[in-house]
Amino acid sequence: MDQSLVDRMWEYLNAGLAMDVEGLDALYDPGFENVRFDEEGRVVTLTKDQFMARFRALRDQGMKVGESLDDLSLLATSVYDGHGSIIVRRVKDDVPVLYNFVWRRQDGRWTTLVREFTFHKDITDLVRMIESQSSPT
């Protein structure tokens, strides 16, 4: 495993755990997208703005995205064409969630997170939330 990519990933994960919104904002590339999909083939893509709005709302409500990183495993890294992927497994409510985080590499260092591909067993609630936000009121 590429230790420098693993170290950068831990920086990101710890910023999320601490709800360091400014730190997270700096880690996400301006063109960041989170592509979430499930076993039924449903797909939702969230932009950086949508992602950051969620973090800000949680922080402003005094909430966190988690209490610890103990349920997380970094499984593999792959470095290619100025990018690096790190595969992560996390267990939420006894259900595994799988991630492929894609980082940009510039001048020999990992700079920003450009993509996050997330496999969930079921994203029905997320699909409903997105549909309700896009429905006319």
In angstroms, the CA 31 to CA 47 distance is: 7
| Segments making up each domain of the chain, as ranges | 3-134
3: number of Cβ within 10 Å: 8
Domain 3-134 is of which CATH architecture?
Roll (3.10)
Mean pLDDT of 19-47: 94
In angstroms, the CA 36 to CA 3 distance is: 26
Q: 34-54, pLDDT tens digit by residue?
A: 999 999 999 999 999 988 998
Mean pLDDT of 77-81: 96
19: number of Cβ within 10 Å: 18
Amino acid 137: pLDDT:
52
Length of the chain: 137
More confident residue, 54 or 118: 118
In angstroms, the CA 110 to CA 107 distance is: 8
42: number of Cβ within 10 Å: 14
Amino acid 129: pLDDT:
82
- Tell me how many degrees the CA angle 70-72-73 measures, rounded to the nearest 5: 120
Q: Over 70: is that where the pLDDT of 136 sits?
A: no
